Amino acid sequence: MSAMQVEQIQILNLVESYCKNLDVRWNKYKGDVVCRIVQRFIGNHLSVVVGPNAYIDGFPYEFDLLVVDNDSPRDLTLSYQPQNVRDAIEVKKGGIYSQSQLAKTKKMFDDVVSKCPHIKCAYFAVEEVQTVVKKNSINFYVLSKTTLGSHGFFALRDLRRKGLIVGDWAKFIAYL
- Phi and psi of 137, rounded to 5°? -75, 150
pLDDT in tens, 24-53: 677 888 889 999 999 999 999 998 999 999
Tell me which H or E stretch contains 127.
Answer: strand 120-128
For 145-168, give the DSSP string: HHHHTTSEEEEEEETTT--B-TTH
Q: Distance (Å, rounded) from C-alpha 40 to C-alpha 47?
A: 10
pLDDT in tens, 102-147: 999 999 999 999 999 999 999 999 999 887 778 888 888 899 999 9
Average of per-residue pLDDT across 52-80: 91
Tell me which H or E stretch contains 49.
Answer: strand 49-50
Q: Is the model's pLDDT at 159 over the cut of 70? A: yes
pLDDT at 135: 80
Q: Where are the domains of the chain?
A: 3-175
pLDDT in tens, 83-103: 999 999 999 998 888 889 999
